[in-house]
A and B are shown apart, each in its own frame.
Chain A
């Protein structure tokens, strides 16, 4: 890479000093023109994180180089760190705008090379993959597993284990992929991320579903920060409430939620409600358990503790909620726990130590205390302990409920979301714990983990053979046939069977299933079957013919076999085929139903599709088409199979799908203005070329009819590929600068001989 030198001025000690800047492969250096002047500047290209040029037509063309800042992708993170000092920058001023642009363009291309060296593509790919969540990766895998066509396309286009690296050579000879398959010149044309970028909509729902199954957690703090802060100079207490904090308050304190839903906005505004609530909380903490002072404070305390309503939730509902609470959550719950507990003692008494409850005692200790002289005091202590434990239970349940599924945008939606969570059963349903409720023993709590579950036994059907010997006879016949018997003898024997009154011939040689029948030939037995179907068998005189038939086949089959002449194959001895009467266990074959509804529907659909296609092609009625004389020159009626063997048909379909996918990536790479876009287009274009050649080669192997059918099918795709090739060549001319930069970059990577990972 040749050095570039451009005259420009730089700021040295606050003054503009004329000089010149030299750009080498790894460094940018500015020197003043005057030999005696000082202030030489130098910066390694790796340290340049951005370069900006002022607007075209500015009075002083300038270029600003940011040194040592955050990489371009980390702008958001840099903004978040407001305290971080600005990175150093170098500003160069040019006399001519063309000099500035030349330096800027060259610097841009060399920075791209430097960046690519520092972060190999494989690392970039792995980083990109690392950005995908586990849910996304699982959804992709599930999608590939469920869609074999997409899996085949993915396997064809995306190279496993490696990213599609720019100009990466694979050495001599055919390269085998990581999975052992031979590289065919197309694999690697599309990266994993590019492949999935077009298909995010296919697994968005799956990712969302998987994400929905995972409950977003909330903080385990016992109470929200509702106390507020004082600035110390005024008598004002400030408290910030967010939607999340309001939801937490409503979830932890059902009484507050009820008060909000009952009073806002009918009796007070939302701001007034929250002011009263926070003031009440502040005073409650300040009083440290002392009784409220003043009616207003007492009214607020009663409002937010729920006692003002005087109508607590129904006991049955509370009991049901208590029973539905999981044992893993409930510490010492029993049936009547919540009937007396709850918010009666008031929330927020614990954190200030105003009414520190005694440690929970066992039932035996409580009973002993109650039985003793000081039983009343002990019972009160027990009551306080139960109150603490009830609140802990409730808090644990709120934590396990997690965040609400519906969006919380304001106080009302927060209250409704909290109520909905509570009604939904909360933790019992979410924590996947079986049982739930206080009726069962602790041993019933079973956490079901999928990976610990034993795989279900595969249901298999029992194979029963009516005649096992027939199976082995069939297998032996197949083996004999595979060993290679006299082909001519087989031919003659089959012909004898075809003309000898319906002796059945084993078509495939495998298996001895009694229910299998071979296709019938033109013989009397077949005619008898048809006669039986039409119930005219009695109208036909079969006697003489049947006798002849039996004479021909029964008497050693000589009458029928006499006329069979078999030509000896080369190198083999001509042996007269002797049709041996075969013993068979087959039942008399009868014709099946005349019409198969499913097949008839399929054929009717095919006809309808052809009709639709013909109409769409020309928009003609039959009369119009006939009158024009061109009706029969439309698209062939069965372009999918006419003259094209099934195997080749499958290959054509696969190649067409691959080409369509590559074309999508080709056009999505537009405009080819950057080296990355050129890289992508170059790789896809090369793969399209390989596909094009493969299609042409395959077409030559087909019969004329097959070629005609194949050409008709692929003509739109070929036209699209030609358009892509033309566009690529056109872009190479119109964007010669960026293409040249891409070429230089590719050469720098040694990719001239092997532009993509080809075999």
Chain B
């Protein structure tokens, strides 16, 4: 266990991403995590409450995607749909799934849209038969971030000079049970030089995604009533890193990073951090209460 100051917010990544990435050739790989949870889009639970409709958001997303692909011939897009449970998570576009031949950007954009819509329709039909309202919903954010990192890793095999990033378009609330795995995924993304951008659709902030965006140097935004995702995507999330480096993003974060200890939930200025799972304690202990790592 190491002793460290916990209140210092982590520095965002510098513009030139660090490990494992080569100088970018201007192309990007964009992995979009798009929530298709029926409970979110049907308005139940007041998450969206009619603020956005699925078809409108999907349309804007497709328009942005087409624009992104048009910016560079080597740009690539992957869309991963998030459903209510882990087993419902699936690719909407498995363009990176089967090898190098899928990494093409020469086809018609209308074909791309048709492919996305077709896959989502398949997903919708499958979900309709399997959807169970009584099951407690846990958004598999950690899983899909890991999946996105796998996609990025696979893309780098074929395109080592691309600059990858992950765009999360979500509306569900955070799940506290995925904190550890989620933070590990975020740090993995940081080490891989993958930005995580977030566009929140609901009325509540996602502190998890705020941390993800801040740690990885991405952008975070929660859409207000009447705002459209397309405006944000086009204005704040330009296609390439070179453009992004020249623009000042006005979106900032409001998350509090004051650390609280795992054992007593007391705010700390100085504490002890588990070197395995990064859990914070207010006093030295022999064994981690979270991951049960033994320090003796």
Contact = CB atoms under 8 A, between A and B. Distances in A.
Contact of B117 (A491, A527, A548, A566): A527
Given A545-B121, A594-B230, A634 B110 contact: no
A636 interface: yes
Contacts of A610: 250-251
A628 B230 CA distance: 31
B106 interface: no
B43 A494 contact: yes
B60 interface: yes
Interface stretch (A336-344, A403-411, A446-454, A599-607): A599-607
Nearest to A536: B114
Contacts of A498: 38-39, 41-42, 44
A560 interface: yes
Contact of A567 (B44, B62, B134): B134
Nearest to B56: A591
A629 B12 contact: yes
Contacts of B20: none
Interface string A647-663: 00000000000000000
Interface in B239-272: 245, 247-254, 256
Given A542-B121, A638-B224, A530 B9 contact: no
Interface string A601-630: 011100100110111000001110111010
B179 to A, nearest CB: 17
B197 interface: no
A316 B34 CA distance: 85
B62 A534 contact: yes
B117 A536 contact: yes
A242 interface: no
B99 interface: no
A497 B42 CA distance: 8
A174 interface: no
Main SS of chain A's interface residues?
Answer: helix
Interface string B91-125: 00000000000000000001101100110111011
B288 to A, nearest CB: 27
A524 B133 contact: no
B125 A599 contact: no
Interface stretch (B47-55, B69-77, B274-282): B47-55
A604 B235 contact: yes
B248 A621 contact: yes
A495 B43 contact: no
A522 B131 contact: no
A600 B39 contact: no
Contacts of B11: 629
Given A536-B117, A540-B118, A633-B9, A521 B54 contact: yes
A540 B44 contact: no
A263 interface: no
B253 A560 contact: no
A599 B250 contact: no
B25 to A, nearest CB: 22
A523 interface: yes
Interface string A557-591: 00110011111000000000000000000000001
Contacts of B252: 614, 631-632, 634-637
A582 B249 CA distance: 48
B108 to A, nearest CB: 9
A600 B229 CA distance: 11
A505 B56 CA distance: 17
A642 B206 CA distance: 12
A469 to B, nearest CB: 25
A636 B251 CA distance: 8
B230 A595 contact: yes
Interface string A535-564: 110011110010011001000000110011
A607 B38 contact: no
A596 B231 CA distance: 10
Nearest to A562: B129
Contacts of A704: 256
B63 interface: yes
Nearest to B130: A563
B248 A611 contact: yes
B197 to A, nearest CB: 14
A599 B227 contact: yes
A507 B222 CA distance: 24
A527 B55 contact: yes
- For chain A, the bracket of interface size reads 35 or more
A531 interface: yes
A498 B124 CA distance: 10
Contact of B134 (A526, A565, A599): A565
A641 interface: yes
B52 A519 contact: yes
Question: Which of B52, B124, B228, B251 gathers the greatest number of chain A CB atoms within 10 Å?
Answer: B124
B128 interface: yes
A27 interface: no
B14 interface: yes
A600 B125 CA distance: 34
B6 to A, nearest CB: 16
A492 B133 contact: yes
Nearest to A639: B254
B147 interface: no
A607 B125 contact: no
Contact of A535 (B60, B110, B127, B250): B110
A586 B48 CA distance: 23
B124 A527 contact: yes
A533 B44 contact: no
Nearest to B235: A607
A289 interface: no
Contacts of A560: 128-129
Interface string B128-140: 1111111000000
Given A603-B231, A641-B224, A491 B133 contact: yes
A544 to B, nearest CB: 9
Contacts of A529: 55
B87 to A, nearest CB: 14
A600 B63 CA distance: 15
Nearest to B52: A519
B205 A642 contact: yes
Nearest to A529: B55
Contacts of B36: 522
Contact of B125 (A548, A564, A566, A631): A548
A365 interface: no
A682 B63 CA distance: 62
A704 B56 CA distance: 32
Question: Which of B121, B228, B253 gathers the greatest number of chain A CB atoms within 10 Å?
Answer: B121
Interface in B121-161: 121-122, 124-125, 127-134
B147 to A, nearest CB: 20
Contacts of A501: 128
B111 A643 contact: no
B66 to A, nearest CB: 9
B9 A519 contact: no
Interface of B: 9, 11-12, 14-15, 36-39, 41-44, 48, 50-56, 58-60, 62-63, 110-111, 113-114, 117-118, 120-122, 124-125, 127-134, 205, 214, 217, 221-222, 224, 226-228, 230-232, 235-236, 245, 247-254, 256
The 3 closest A-B CB pairs, nearest first, are A498-B42, A610-B250, A636-B254
5 contacts: A498-B39, A521-B43, A539-B110, A560-B128, A637-B251
Given A519-B51, A522-B127, 20 more contacts: A519-B52, A521-B53, A522-B36, A522-B38, A526-B58, A530-B117, A531-B113, A536-B113, A548-B125, A564-B133, A565-B132, A594-B59, A595-B230, A603-B227, A614-B252, A626-B12, A626-B15, A631-B12, A637-B254, A638-B222
